[in-house]
Amino acid sequence: MKPENARFDNVLNAAPEQFLKSWLAEAALSLDNVSIAKTAPHDAQELLASLQEALRADADVTRFDDAKWSRTRTVLSELSQSRAAQGASAGETNYFVLAIKKPFFAGLRQALDANPQAAFDAVLAASALIDRMAQWTATTYQRSRENVIQRQQQELLELSTPVVKLWEGVLAAPMIGTLDSSRTQLVMETLLQRIVETGSELAIIDITGVPTVDTLVAQHLLKTVTAIRLMGADCIISGIRPQIAQTIVQLGIDLQGIVTKATLADALSLALKKGGWAVSRPVR
Amino acid sequence: MDRIPILKMGRYLLVTIQVDLLDQTALALQDDLSERIAATAAQGVLIDISALEIVDSFVGRILASISGISAIMGATLVVVGMQPAVAITLVELGLSLDGVRTALDVERGMALLNADGASRSDH
C-alpha cells in the first residue's frame, strides 16, 4: 500500500465508532429532514466501508475517476439519488459528504502531531479527495433531479394532448396549458394521424384551456391549421375567450382564413351544419 | 428514367404517385401534365400522393407550380391523400400551397372536382 493510503486507512480504522459519531454530528448541523437523519448512519457506514476498500486496493487518491474508486462512486450516486428522491436539498446532500472532513482531519492531526509538514500535505491530499467526492455527489444529485423533471415533462405532454371524436367525421383536440413548439408539434402529429386513421373531414382545436395567446402561439396554431388544410381536412379554432380575442386584436395577429368560434358548442354546431346534419328537438 | 403515368378519366386527369418523387421525375411530370391538359382539354386534375412519404422543398415547389399551370390552363387541381409527415414538412418549409385544393382521399377529391365542374357548367 502507498504510504498515503496507509495513513488514511489508519485514520479511518483507528476508532471507527468515534469517527462515525463525529461525522454524523457534523452532518446533522445542516440536516432538517427527519427521514434522512434516520438513514444517515447507514449511509455513512456504507461510504466509509467503500472508502476503506478503495484505499486498501491502493487506489490513487489524486484520481477519483480511477476504476478502483468505482464502488465509492456507486455508493455516492445511490446516496444522492435517494436523497434527491426524498426531497433533500443539494446543499444538505453535499454537506453530508463534506462533513467527513472534520473527523478525518482531526485523526490526521493526531497521527502526525510531531510532523507539521507531513500533516499539512496529508490534509491537503485528503481535502482534495473529499472535494472530488462532494463534486461527484453534486453532479449525480443534479442529474437525478433533471431526470425527474424530464420524466414529468414527458408525462405532462402525454397527459395534455388527447384527440377525441365528437361526431361522425368531426375530431376535437382540447388544448390545456401554454402552447410551446414541442407541445404544438405533438398535438399536430397526433391530430393529423387521427385524421388519416378516421378519415375525418373536420378538426376542432379548442383553446379554452390555453391561458394566453401571443404571436408565437398564434404562429403555432396557424401552422397546425395549414397542415390540416394540406391534408384535405378543414379546421375550426374554438374557445376564444373575450380577453384572448382582445389580445389577438391588440397584437395585430392575423387569423384571417381561419374559422374561429367562441365556444366548442358553436364549433360543433357549425361542423354539423357543414356536414349536412340537422339537430332538432321533438315537440312535446 | 421513371415517368409518372397520367390517366384520363372522362373530363379529368388522374395522377397517382407510387414511387419516391425524384427531382427529374417531378420535372418530367410537370412537362407531361401540361401537355396532357392541353391535349385533352381536361377540366380537372387529381394528384394522389398518399404513397409519398418524403418531400423536399423542390417537390413542394413543383406541386405549387403544377397548381399554377393547371389554373392558367383552366383545370382545377386537387391534391389528395397527403401524409401527416409530408404536411408537417411542407408547413415547416414555409410552403403552404395556398392555391392548391386538397382532399383526404381519391373519392372525396373526385367529389370536389365534380362539385366544381357542376358549378362551372351553371354559368
Q: What is the pLDDT of residues B6-60, one digit of tens each?
A: 999 889 999 999 888 888 889 999 999 999 999 998 999 999 999 988 888 888 8
Of A171, A130, A142, A176, the residue nearest A156 (C-alpha): A176
Q: A59: helix, coil or strand?
A: coil
Which residues have CB under 8 Å from A68's CB, separation 6+? A54, A57, A58, A59, A60
pLDDT at A269 over 90: yes
Please name each of the domains of chain B with its CATH number: 6-122 (3.30.750.24)
Element at A237 (helix H, strand E): strand A234-238
Residues of A in contact with B105 (CB under 8 A): 199, 232
Residues A226, B80: C-beta atoms closer than 8 Å: no
pLDDT band at residue A175 using 50, 70 and 90 as cut-offs: confident
Residue numbers in A near B79 (CB within 8 A): 230, 232
Q: With contact defined as beta carbons under 8 Å apart, do A169 and A202 qualify?
A: yes
Residue B90 touches chain A, beta carbons under 8 Å: yes
Q: Could you report the predicted ipTM of this complex, rounded to two decimals? A: 0.82
Tell me whether residues A226 and B91 touch, CB distance under 8 A.
Answer: yes
What are A183-193's pLDDT values in tens digits? 888 888 899 99
The domain A164-274 having CATH identifier 3.30.750.24: the answer here is yes
- Model pLDDT, residue A185: 83
Short-list B116, B110, B115, CA closest to B80? B110
pLDDT attached to residue B1: 63
Query: In chain A, what residues touch B81 (CB-CB under 8 Å)?
Result: 232
Site of grid cell 373536420: A202
How many whole angstroms separate alpha carbon A181 and alpha carbon A198? 25
The reply to whether B96 touches chain A by the CB within 8 Å rule is: yes
Q: How far is B50 from chain A (nearest CA, A)?
A: 10
Put simply, the answer to whether A192 touches B84 (Cβ < 8 Å) is yes
Q: How many CB pairs under 8 A join A and B?
A: 56
Q: What is the nearest CA distance from A169 to chain B, expressed in angstroms?
A: 11
Please give the Cα distance from A49 to A45 (Å, whole number).
6
- Selected residue with higher pLDDT from A153 and B122: A153
Q: What is the pLDDT of residues A79-103, one digit of tens each?
A: 888 888 887 888 888 888 888 888 8
Nearest by CB: A188 against B80, B86, B88: B88
In SS3 terms, A177-215 reads as CCCCHHHHHHHHHHHHHHHHHHCCCEEEEEEEECCCCCH
Contacts of A233 in chain B (CB under 8 A): 104
Quote the minimal CA–CA distance from B54 to chain A in Å. 14
- Contact between A226 and B108 using a beta-carbon 8 Å cutoff: no
- Look at residue A258 in the predicted model and tell me its pLDDT: 87
Write out the three cell numbers for A230.
394540406
Confidence check: pLDDT of A233 > 90: yes
Give CATH for domain A3-153: 1.10.490
Contact B71, B38 (CB under 8 A): no
Nearest CA in chain A to B97: A230
Q: Please list the residue range(s) of chain A that carry CATH number 3.30.750.24.
A: 164-274
Closest Cα in chain B, distance from residue A197 (Å)? 11
pTM: 0.66
> Cα–Cα distance between A239 and A254 in angstroms, integer?
17
Angle among Cα B54, B56, B60 to the nearest 5 degrees reads 105
CATH 1.10.490 in chain A is located at 3-153
Which stretches of chain A are DSSP H helices?
3-14, 16-28, 34-56, 70-86, 90-98, 101-111, 116-159, 181-198, 215-231, 242-251, 264-274
Tell me the average pLDDT across A272-280.
89
Burial class (CB in 10 A: 0-12, 13-18, 19+), B69: middle
Classified as helix, coil or strand, B54 is coil
Q: Is the pLDDT of residue A9 over 90?
A: no
Q: Which residues of A touch B91 (CB under 8 A)?
A: 223, 226-227, 230
Judge whether B66 and B21 are in contact, CB under 8 Å.
no
Alpha-carbon dihedral A79, A82, A86, A88, rounded to 10 degrees? 30
Answer whether residue A195 shows pLDDT above 90. Answer: yes
Mean pLDDT of the A10-21 span? 84
Tens digit of pLDDT for each residue in A26-71?
Answer: 888 776 666 777 788 888 888 888 888 888 888 888 888 888 888 8
Q: Do B88 and A227 touch (CB under 8 A)?
A: yes
Q: How far apart are CA B98 and CA A17, in angstroms?
A: 79
The SS3 of residue A126 is helix
Average pLDDT over residues A207-223: 85
Query: Which of the two residues, B97 and B45, has the higher pLDDT score?
Result: B45
The contact set of A with B (CB < 8 A) is 185, 188-189, 192-193, 195-196, 199, 201, 223, 226-233
User: What phi, psi does A236 have (nearest 5°)?
Assistant: -120, 135
Nearest beta carbon to residue A193 from set B84, B104, B108 = B84
Q: What is the pLDDT of residue A275?
A: 86
Average pLDDT over every residue of B76-83: 92
Beta carbons of B81 and B106 less than 8 angstroms apart: yes
Chain A residue numbers touching B103 (CB-CB < 8 A): 232
| Mean of per-residue pLDDT scores for chain A | 86
pLDDT tens-digit series, residues A96-137: 888 888 888 888 888 888 888 888 888 888 899 899 999 999
Predicted confidence (pLDDT) per residue in A246-265, tens digit: 888 888 888 877 899 999 99
A-contacting residues in B 37-76 (Cβ below 8 Å):
none
The DSSP output letter for B104 is S
Tell whether the model's pLDDT for residue B117 goes beyond 80.
no
Interchain pair B108, A231: CB under 8 A: no
**Min Cα separation A220/chain B (Å):** 10
